[in-house]
Structure 1
């Protein structure tokens, strides 16, 4: 399985949640989900969660050590694969897909023998369709967009960009339906200050357009804008395909 990890925030049962997951698995899931048909968890109660119920800086080193010990135990007993971690509501939950479960207790004892000062629970159940991975760990299209937004913003900051300064931000869309809603969509974009640029076409031959507007690319601003565009485009038979802009320093 490929190792390609992503970290993002989401709302989980009314609480903020930090999700770390192996995104590389999604490219192989159809091939491996029947090899690892059981979802298992190790849930650790935090001693010093921050005010949002997430991991505090004080406790982060020890939780990282627990995570490392669990990974070492997983390798030792060769029973499955670590696929993700959820931190929310004062708990850290480590998630694994198992090939077999007969030595699950051996795995736990080897990994957790020195952490008796923590309140820890564990268990496993059948999940041949990998619903926990797909519905809990894997981001929605909007969550994926936020992940990509923040990667671009982070990269711009490393180049000393002042993300608060407005500039032309170019977006792309592709039409998913052949309908009259295309013209309605373009008119709607223009009414909201966007300038329609060029017609484009992707590798599959699907038609689209690029368009731009003067906006700020700061994290919260670009999140709000792109999530709005996703909804707007979807309502008019189109899909959003990301943004780009120039570097502007103070």
Structure 2
């Protein structure tokens, strides 16, 4: 399994939530469903959440230490996989998928013996379809796009880019459901000030094209733009495939 983690924000039952999840697991999820059919959780009440119910900087070191202790215990007792963490509404919840539960209490005792001052609850239940991973932790296509947007913005910042300066931003799309609405889509994009560039084709032979417009790549600007494009393209049988731009310094 290729293990790598992603972090993003979403709205969860009316509250902002920080979601961290093991994205690498999704590549082997069918195998893991069979091996680890039980979802388990450790839910911790934060002592000093910030005004948004999220983890404060003062409490962060202790919660991260608890996370490490839980991970070490999981390895020691070999009971499953750590798949993600949710921080929201004054709580942090660590989620696992386990093969069996006969030593669940041993796992907890080893991991949490140093955290008696915290209010902690735990539990587990059968989840053979991995619904908690796929519906709670795993991002929707729009959430995935926001993750990618912020990665590109972060890279631009490391190159001393001024994200507030407008420049040509190039986008790509592919016609996932046929290109019957291609001409209509081009008219829509043209009306929004986009310029159509070259036609493209991916490795599976699916066709599409590149298009661009002068915009600012700052975080909330590019988020608003790409979410709009996702909806527009979906209405016309196409799928959005990301953006790129050049570095522009002050």
Shorter-chain TM-score bucket reads over 0.9
Partner residue in 2 for 1:144: 144
Counterpart CA distance in 2 for 1:148 and 1:217 is 12
What 5-or-longer segments of structure 1 have no aligned partner? Answer: none
Runs of 4+ in 1 over 4 A off after TM superposition: none
Counterparts of 1:32 and 1:141 in 2: how far apart (Å)?
22
**How many Å separate the matches in 1 of 2:66 and 2:37?**
24
Deviation string for 1:49-92 (max 9, x for gaps)? 01110000000000011101101111111111100000000000
In 2, distance between residues paired with 1:86 and 1:132? 11
3-state DSSP class of the match of 2:34?
coil
Separation in structure 2 between the aligned mates of residue 165 and residue 11 of structure 1, nearest angstrom: 30
**Distance (whole Å) between structure 1 residues aligned to residue 86 and residue 177 of structure 2:** 37
How do 1:199-210 residues align onto structure 2 when only pairs under 5 Å count? 199-210=199-210
For 1:66, the equivalent position in structure 2 comes to: 66
Aligned 1:1-250 pairs, distance under 5 A: 1-250=1-250
Structure 1, residues 17-43: CA drift from partner, whole Å, max 9, x if none?
A: 000000000000011211000000000
Partner of 2:61: helix, strand, or coil?
Answer: helix
Distance 2:85 2:177 in 1: 38
State the distance in 1 between where 2:21 and 2:180 align. Answer: 40
Shift of 1:133: 0.3
Output the aligned Cα RMSD: 0.7
- Count of residue pairs brought into register by the alignment: 250
TM (norm. structure 1) is 0.99
Partner-residue secondary structure (3-state), 1:184: helix
User: 2:125 is paired with a residue of what secondary structure?
Assistant: strand
Q: Distance in 2 between matches of 1:76 and 1:181?
A: 56
Q: State the shift of 1:181 in Å.
A: 1.4
Gaps of 5+ in 2: none
SS class of match (1:34): helix
Compute the displacement of 1:3 (Å).
Answer: 1.3
Q: Output the CA distance in 2 between the equivalents of 1:77 and 1:31.
A: 21
Q: Following TM superposition, by how much is the alpha carbon of 1:177 offset from its aligned partner in structure 2, in angstroms?
A: 2.3
Q: TM-score, normalised by structure 2?
A: 0.99
What is the distance in 2 between the residues matched to 1:2 and 1:170?
Answer: 30
